[in-house]
Amino acid sequence: MTHKTIHLDKKKFELVKSGKKKFEIRLGNKDINEGDRLTIIQRDEQGNPTDNKITKVVGHMELTKNLPYWSGEDINKFGFKIIQIN
């Protein structure tokens, strides 16, 4: 098990913290795998990290190239990583 860190804006952070949001979609260039411990740090409105943190374990993941959120070049280069957060 590896320890990784990601950052989320306040709204997404609070949804994960409350248990309502159980997944995260990331461009597949992160080295995050099932079973990793994931520290999630809240970012403020300016994008700076705050002291608010939670730790979750990465569950099931899927890698796909069929989502329209990033440029075609980045999608082709990295793919997507959909992270279930337990």
Q: What is the pLDDT of residues 64-82, one digit of tens each?
A: 766 667 788 888 888 877 7
Q: What's the one-letter identity of residue 67? A: L
pTM, entire model: 0.73
Q: What is the CATH code of the structural domain delimited by 3-85?
A: 2.30.130.30
Quote the tokens at residue 19. Answer: 């248990």
Sequence-distant (6+) residues with CB within 8 A of 80 are 25, 26, 27, 28, 63, 64, 65, 67, 70
| pLDDT, one tens digit for every residue, the chain (86 residues) | 678 899 999 999 999 999 999 888 887 756 888 899 999 999 999 999 999 999 999 888 877 766 667 788 888 888 877 777 76
Query: Are 11 and 43 in contact, with CB atoms under 8 Å apart?
Result: no
Closest to 2 (Cα-Cα) out of 28, 48, 30, 37? 37
